[in-house]
Amino acid sequence: MSIAGKISLKFVSCIAKQDIVAISLVGKQKPDLLNLLTSENYIPLISPVSVPDQFMFAAELASSLNAEKFIIMFGEEGILDADEELIPAINLKRLEQLTDEGIITKNMLKPIDACKFAINKGVCMAHLIKADKYKLIEEIFTEEGVGTIITKE
């Protein structure tokens, strides 16, 4: 738990350099607390330790908060095509085709299922990016962004 807290605090400090206030939370949080924080213009960064399926927990949380965008940070750069090139944007139908074709690897299934869940529950878009503090900053504060963005259509 202390490692998760330390990592989250690093992200908080990076975001603070952009004059944005973020709060590091560890474990399962209630939507009421998160709604309060966001209504006061705080960005809650949650490290969901001891949650069995962290990706789905995050997707459920994003949809319960009516999030506009859902970002998953994990070990990959994003979704890769058959030539192992990054796919910068994809819709759910094409994502399903890649899964059926076996291009989506097993380690991508849980994050992708969480993204599909969030989008099907009202989140506008989901984003898969590499778990690196600079990638998150690059995604949030640049026009180009990083990783793969997933949309419904």
Residues 44 and 64 in one domain: no
Q: Are 10 and 64 part of one and the same domain?
A: no
Q: Is 74 in the same domain as 106?
A: yes
Give the model's pLDDT for residue 49: 64
Q: Are residues 14 and 71 in the same domain?
A: no
Weakest-pLDDT range from 57-61, 71-75, 88-92, 136-140: 136-140
Distance of alpha carbon 149 from alpha carbon 15, whole angstroms: 21
Per-residue pLDDT, 37: 81
Produce one character per residue of 76-109: b if its CB has 16 or more CB atoms within 10 Å, e if not: bbbbbeeeeeebeebebeebeebbeeebbeeebe
Q: What average pLDDT does this structure show over 43-68?
A: 79
Q: Judge residue 153's burial from the number of C-beta atoms within 10 Å of its C-beta, 0-12 exposed, 13-18 middle, 19 or more buried.
A: exposed
Kindly report, residue by residue over 114-131, the tens digit of the pLDDT. Answer: 999 999 999 999 999 998
Whether residues 40 and 108 share a domain: the answer is no
Domain boundary among 32, 51, 70: 51
Q: If 0-12 CB within 10 Å is exposed, 13-18 middle and 19+ buried, where does residue 59 land?
A: buried
Which structural domain, as residue segments, surrounds residue 59? 54-153
Q: Helix, strand, or coil here: 89?
A: strand
Encoding tokens for residue 76?
């990959």
- Taking phi first (over 0 means left), then psi (-120 to 50 degrees means alpha), and beta for anything else, what does residue 61 get? alpha
Binned at pLDDT 50, 70 and 90, residue 8 comes out as low
Query: Domains in the chain: how many in total?
Result: 2
- CATH number, residue 131: 3.40.1160.10
Q: Dihedral angle at the C-alpha atoms of 41, 48, 116, 105, nearest 10 degrees?
A: 130
- Which residues of 75-135 form beta strands (DSSP E)? 89-91, 125-130
* 29 and 94 within one domain: no
- Say if residue 45 is in the same domain as residue 58: no
Query: Same domain for 70 and 28?
Result: no
71 and 41 share one domain = no
Query: Are 62 and 40 within one domain?
Result: no
Instruction: Identify whether residues 36 and 67 lie together within a single domain.
Output: no
Give residue for tokens 């330390």: 6
